[in-house]
Amino acid sequence: EAQVTQNPRYLITVTGKKLTVTCSQNMNHEYMSWYRQDPGLGLRQIYYSMNVEVTDKGDVPEGYKVSRKEKRNFPLILESPSPNQTSLYFCASSLDVQETQYFGPGTRLLVL
Amino acid sequence: GIQVEQSPPDLILQEGANSTLRCNFSDSVNNLQWFHQNPWGQLINLFYIPSGTKQNGRLSATTVATERYSLLYISSSQTTDSGVYFCAVRPSSSGGYQKVTFGTGTKLQVIP
């Protein structure tokens, strides 16, 4: 089944404890992206990747890192999480930058 | 950056009624998608529609790129249509065509 998977789906952590949210797609998509969704602010793009080893900042990249060493995986790294990074995170992928995006199920993160 | 506004922000419908949701954008785009976020938070693709008209069952969408708006039509609404509807665009400008900007969303509640 073609899909985008994210892990974990739910995470509670403490300020400053490094964490990684994984994202994987099995559709051989080139374009991958991370978003956060916050009440009243909608979905905002954090980082995106046009292909392996090609990443760039979205609208809200501060406090996040990403890597794209393989085409199928695009992990989101929070090296020192803070409470303002409490949010619902979505990973998405598309065949290329102009095609339909498919979203993962989301990861709910709470930083205490 | 590009601004994307959706209207109305909230909508309550009686089951069986029709509705039109609007997405206005401030700059030219070459990619526009409509999504439905169900009450469980899942983002579901509805249409990829940078221009023209498409239909899928009770849903249809029209994008008039030259006038910078898109419309989503829901006919014979059902309670399962409840949730939040988002449009998302990619600008045509060379400086930011890889980025995606989401609209503010329309929250729809369909009551029996």
pLDDT band at A9 (very low <50, low <70, confident <90, very high): very high
Q: Decide if pLDDT at B97 tops 80.
A: no
CA distances from B77 to A76, B13, B15, B53 (A): 38, 8, 5, 20
Instruction: Identify from B30, B89, B98 which residue to disrupt to test chain A contact, counting A C-beta atoms within 10 A and taking the largest count.
Output: B98
Question: In the numeric block, which tokens belong to residue B36?
Answer: 């439905």
Instruction: Identify from B7, B42, B43 which residue to disrupt to test chain A contact, counting A C-beta atoms within 10 A and taking the largest count.
Output: B43
User: Which residues in chain A touch residue B32, judged by CB atoms under 8 angstroms apart?
Assistant: none
Q: How many CB pairs under 8 A join A and B?
A: 53
Residue written as token pair 């979205």: A58
- B24-80, pLDDT tens digit by residue? 999 999 899 999 999 999 999 999 999 999 999 999 999 999 999 999 999 999 999
- A59-109, pLDDT tens digit by residue? 999 999 999 999 999 999 999 999 999 999 999 999 988 888 999 999 999
Q: d(Cα B90, Cα A66) in Å, to the nearest integer?
A: 21
- Beta strands, E only, B2-105: 4-7, 10-14, 19-25, 29-37, 43-48, 52-56, 59-64, 69-74, 83-91, 101-102
Q: d(Cα A43, Cα A62) in Å, to the nearest integer?
A: 15
Amino acid at B78: Q
- A25-71, pLDDT tens digit by residue? 999 999 999 999 999 888 999 999 999 999 999 999 999 999 999 99
Question: In the numeric block, which tokens belong to residue B45?
Answer: 């693709």
Q: Decide if pLDDT at A1 tops 90.
A: no
